[in-house]
Amino acid sequence: MASSVAIFTSEGNAHLIVPEDERELAAATSSARLIPYSSVTLQHLTSAAEAIEGPLSETLSSIGLTGRAGARVGVQMKQGVQPASYAVSTLFRGSLNQTLARIAPRLELVPCDDLFEREKSIRTPVELNLMRHAMKFAARGFHEAPQAISHTADEHAVAALVQGAFEASPLPPEIQRSYGFFFCMSGPNSATASAAYARTRQRAIADGDLVMIHANTCCDGFWTDLTRTYTAGEPSTRHKEIRAAIFQARAAALAAIRPGVPAREVDSAARQVMASHGLGEAFRHGLGHGVGYAAANALALPRIHPESPDILLEGMTFNIEPAAYFDGYGGMRHCDVVAVTSTGVEVLSEF
Amino acid sequence: MASSVAIFTSEGNAHLIVPEDERELAAATSSARLIPYSSVTLQHLTSAAEAIEGPLSETLSSIGLTGRAGARVGVQMKQGVQPASYAVSTLFRGSLNQTLARIAPRLELVPCDDLFEREKSIRTPVELNLMRHAMKFAARGFHEAPQAISHTADEHAVAALVQGAFEASPLPPEIQRSYGFFFCMSGPNSATASAAYARTRQRAIADGDLVMIHANTCCDGFWTDLTRTYTAGEPSTRHKEIRAAIFQARAAALAAIRPGVPAREVDSAARQVMASHGLGEAFRHGLGHGVGYAAANALALPRIHPESPDILLEGMTFNIEPAAYFDGYGGMRHCDVVAVTSTGVEVLSEF
């Protein structure tokens, strides 16, 4: 429920102050030293912000931070994102920094947002494997999509069938949690899906409509960001042309990906293909952004965007989402998640 | 995606600075004056925190707040909660207060957390109706539970079937969004479900196990917090005794609810019944807490808890969750959501 506090030392040790209720899950998915705490109990109406004060103080003291003059702690101070890790998440807001200032007044708090974003952009082999799992589970929802679209009348019903297929698919025993969201946007609603905010409505799907299925699902903390677009009924010649352009743009982007390449060149490779098909204006957003600890965060590194200053590094994972949108008519997008390998690219969502 | 900023004036006007992508949804579900903004575009890698600065400055200026000496703005500074409104939520963290200090240096920022929590604890008739809808939709998942438990082998499969029934149920045309989470905890796993953090595992369900289904679902911004407990196969005499005690405790709690009553008396009414059945120690948590804008927040008003200072008011909505937990064996909980009426109580989740 996001009410944990993680402390990383420069020696590479991790300490995790975690609610007692979530200790089992933390132990199964993290190698950090766990310091459990309880907030609300039958005896006390204590908030998490209050309950972490003691454990936080002890932990800082145990690693020699409270007494030392000139000690510095990096904390996140800028805008960030919180993936839906549960029905509700705890926000410490400014209270965490206030607590730090109270229990360790000699500590200097410095912003660590940029460092943290860079660290979060690179996957370890274990994390990469969880992402492969996540894509495989999400694929089971997409496998249901053509049948769902041909048999149902509206976006809500299609989304439910696809989501249901995802939920019902069995998991390997080592996976702790797999959950997420599938959205369906059809006809004119798919034209406005250029934005980060996908949403299923109750629109009746008509024959010939473009029907976009978008998924953000999570496997033990690692997210997918996937889109496939279908036609209700037979694809028109125009649909086939747009699809061919999108797949050509995707291939150009994939061919450009390897360590050391500026992210904007990957965007450019796809964008040039779209423009050559007369779809430059219809491709309204950047080609991609970092995907892993969260989905649908256009500012996660690396930003595959015309204005991006980012350079691709081995282990980075991001999406590639060439698309074309036509107001009042519809949109087509094909969004995959890829990883940068030592020599090129691995498509994690090959389905 | 929680990247909106709401401004309420003392005259009762509401201004909502909202991402362009979410404007349609905001217009359908809010009467606030909408001020749309765009963050990341094809031209700029602008964060929401940066993009709101202009609209926020203009809005504060338009309501005469930036120039006036002594003007005060309440902002949330303490721990709070963020319901899962999407796959990812934006956190402004401390950046919003920094922006305010920069664009309106004469404004005094004061904490408004407690005022806000009190206001959020009371439902309008429109909101109450959305909560009735939310409970009805969640009930469709629970209707599937007995069959799912009798036909499947493990917690994951049961949760998927129940979630699927919820997802697939049709919605009235006026509802914009209905989504959420169903969890299944069986046998010893249900014993640890006394905590706020419910979680489905892959445990094989055995004949005679207690099987708890917990739901947190959302209908256009209003949440459910519901639990039902079943037996796999035939309930034992002991199961029947515990169930009878829980329903007697529930009845005692419901009979105690009306405006003006201290919330701790409602807890006490249920707790005495549980104790009279020898289940005092097994009932490990408070009887309930506010439910509405979020679920599973034990600090939402009114706190139905032995130490609660809260007084019930007409329009408050909260859960009533008498329960008994036995380590290593199992747990039984029956959680409903209720509303305080002018003379007593309405059970919103009568199914």
Subunit contact B86:A91, Cβ cutoff 8 A: no
* Cα A197 to Cα A104: distance, rounded to the nearest angstrom: 40
* Cα A269 to Cα A254: distance, rounded to the nearest angstrom: 9
Where are the alpha helices (H) located in chain A, listed in sequence order? Answer: 23-29, 48-51, 53-62, 95-103, 113-120, 125-151, 155-168, 188-191, 237-256, 263-276
The set of residues, in sequence order, having a beta carbon less than 8 Å from that of A234 and lying 6+ positions away, is: A208
| Of B42, B88, B297, Cβ closest to residue A88 | B297
For range B179-202, the mean pLDDT: 93
The set of residues, in sequence order, having a beta carbon less than 8 Å from that of B206 and lying 6+ positions away, is: B187, B232
Q: Is A190 near chain B, with CB under 8 Å?
A: no
List all residues of chain B from 300 to 339 with a beta carbon under 8 Å from chain A.
Answer: 303, 305-308
Subunit contact A93:B77, Cβ cutoff 8 A: yes
Smallest CA-to-CA distance from B152 within B140, B165, B139 is with B165
* Cα B76 to Cα B91: distance, rounded to the nearest angstrom: 13
Q: Determine the pLDDT at residue A65.
A: 86
* Cα B283 to Cα B333: distance, rounded to the nearest angstrom: 9
Alpha-carbon distances, residue B73 vs A270, A341, B32, B56 (angstroms): 47, 50, 18, 13
The set of residues, in sequence order, having a beta carbon less than 8 Å from that of A298 and lying 6+ positions away, is: A196, A285, A286, A289, A305, B39, B40, B45
* B113 within 8 A of B76, measured Cβ to Cβ: yes
Q: Determine the pLDDT at residue B152.
A: 82
Other C-beta atoms within 10 Å of A84: how many? 26
Q: How far off is chain A from B115, nearest CA to CA, in Å?
A: 17
Phi, psi values for residue A131, rounded to 5°: -65, -40
Give tens-digit pLDDT for A151-170.
888 999 999 999 999 999 99
Q: Determine the pLDDT at residue A337.
A: 98
Phi, psi values for residue B126, rounded to 5°: -60, -45
Q: Which residue has the tokens 């800028």?
A: A78
* pLDDT higher than threshold 90 for residue A339: yes
| Residue B193 DSSP label | G
Q: Determine the pLDDT at residue A284.
A: 96
Task: Give me the percent of chain B exceeding a pLDDT of 90.
Answer: 86
Q: How far off is chain B from A283, nearest CA to CA, in Å?
A: 9
Phi, psi values for residue A188, rounded to 5°: -55, -30
Chain B residues near residue A49 by CB distance under 8 angstroms: 78-79
Q: Is A173 near chain B, with CB under 8 Å?
A: yes
Phi, psi values for residue B102, rounded to 5°: -80, -45
* pLDDT higher than threshold 80 for residue A241: yes
Subunit contact B164:A163, Cβ cutoff 8 A: yes
Chain A residues near residue B82 by CB distance under 8 angstroms: 82, 88-91
Q: Is A238 near chain B, with CB under 8 Å?
A: no
Subunit contact A303:B89, Cβ cutoff 8 A: no
Phi, psi values for residue B340, rounded to 5°: -80, 125
Q: Which residue has the tokens 């005469």?
A: B64
Where are the alpha helices (H) located in chain B, listed in sequence order? Answer: 23-29, 48-51, 53-62, 95-103, 113-120, 125-151, 155-168, 188-191, 237-256, 263-276
For range B338-349, the mean pLDDT: 98
Give tens-digit pLDDT for B239-264.
999 999 999 999 999 999 999 999 99
Residue A3 identity = S
Q: Determine the pLDDT at residue B84.
A: 93
Chain A residues near residue B294 by CB distance under 8 angstroms: 87-88
Subunit contact B296:A88, Cβ cutoff 8 A: yes
Subunit contact A94:B89, Cβ cutoff 8 A: no
For range A300-327, the mean pLDDT: 98
* Average pLDDT of the residues of chain A: 95
Beta bridge partners of B242: none
For range A6-22, the mean pLDDT: 93
Q: How far off is chain A from B274, nearest CA to CA, in Å?
A: 15
Give tens-digit pLDDT for B93-126.
888 989 999 999 999 999 999 999 999 999 999 9
DSSP string, A163-187: HHHHHHS---TT---EEEEEEEEET
Q: Is B201 near chain A, with CB under 8 Å?
A: yes
Structure token digits, residue A345? 């690219």
For range A286-290, the mean pLDDT: 98
DSSP string, B19-73: EGGGHHHHHHH--SEEEEE--S-SS----HHHHTHHHHHHHHHHTT-SS-TT-EE
* pLDDT higher than threshold 90 for residue A296: no
Inter-chain contacts counted by CB atoms under 8 A, chains A and B: 223
* pLDDT higher than threshold 90 for residue B151: no
| Of B88, B93, B161, Cβ closest to residue A79 | B93
Chain B residues near residue A287 by CB distance under 8 angstroms: none
Q: Which residue has the tokens 């917090």?
A: B225
Q: Is A163 near chain B, with CB under 8 Å?
A: yes
* pLDDT higher than threshold 80 for residue B281: yes
Q: Determine the pLDDT at residue B1.
A: 77
Q: Determine the pLDDT at residue B134.
A: 98
Smallest CA-to-CA distance from A249 within A147, A177, A324, A311 is with A324
* Cα B310 to Cα A340: distance, rounded to the nearest angstrom: 55
* pLDDT higher than threshold 80 for residue B67: no
- Name the CA radius of gyration of chain A, rounded: 22
Give tens-digit pLDDT for B132-148.
999 999 999 999 999 99
* pLDDT higher than threshold 80 for residue A196: no
* Cα A2 to Cα A86: distance, rounded to the nearest angstrom: 8
Subunit contact B168:A160, Cβ cutoff 8 A: yes
| Of A20, A45, A88, Cβ closest to residue B82 | A88
